[in-house]
């Protein structure tokens, strides 16, 4: 079985999406990457990353809207899932890891 390429997106790629990517990277079923939708992100999402991804997971609806405005045509056949996780956490904070583990369980199936 081939692995899915999962791209995690948050605002600045400093806390939520890197935590998600690092958490899921240990699972045998996926390859991961992360980026931010904001201009001040540590790694700003690129078209190459969008094209690489089989599935895109955003933390908030505003990131999905931003992606659609930047990469509309490239997203036509890409599933985008919003986890609804606000920017209230630190990188690898226990509460964030717990929320992500629960919300990302579908990736293991």
Q: Is 104 contained in some domain?
A: no
The pLDDT tens digits for 5-61 are 999 999 999 999 999 999 998 888 889 999 999 999 999 999 999 999 999 999 999
Q: Is 107 contained in some domain?
A: no
Q: Is 91 contained in some domain?
A: yes
Position 62 scores a pLDDT of 97
Q: Is 106 contained in some domain?
A: no
Q: Is 103 contained in some domain?
A: no
* CA-based nearest residue to 9, from 72, 92, 74, 65: 65
Residue 63, domain CATH: 3.40.50.2300
* CA-based nearest residue to 56, from 30, 78, 83, 86: 78
Position 107 scores a pLDDT of 84
Q: Is 42 contained in some domain?
A: yes
Q: Is 62 contained in some domain?
A: yes
Domain that holds residue 54: 4-98
The pLDDT tens digits for 95-106 are 999 999 999 998
| Residue owning tokens 């899915």 | 4
- Asked if the model's pLDDT at residue 109 lies above 70, the reply is no
Q: Residue 2: how many CA atoms within 13 Å on its side-chain side? A: 4
Domain count, the chain: 1
């Amino acid at each position: 079985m081939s692995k899915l390429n999962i791209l995690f997106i948050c605002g600045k790629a400093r806390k939520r999406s890197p935590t998600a990517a690092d958490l899921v990277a240990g699972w045998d079923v996926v390859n991961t990457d992360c980026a931010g939708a904001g201009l001040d992100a540590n790694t700003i999402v690129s078209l190459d990353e969008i094209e690489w991804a089989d599935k895109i997971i955003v933390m908030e609806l505003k990131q999905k809207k931003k992606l659609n405005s930047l990469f509309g045509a490239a997203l036509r056949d890409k599933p985008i899932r919003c986890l609804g996780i606000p920017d209230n956490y630190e990188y690898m904070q226990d509460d964030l890891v717990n929320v992500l583990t629960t919300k990302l369980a579908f990736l293991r199936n």
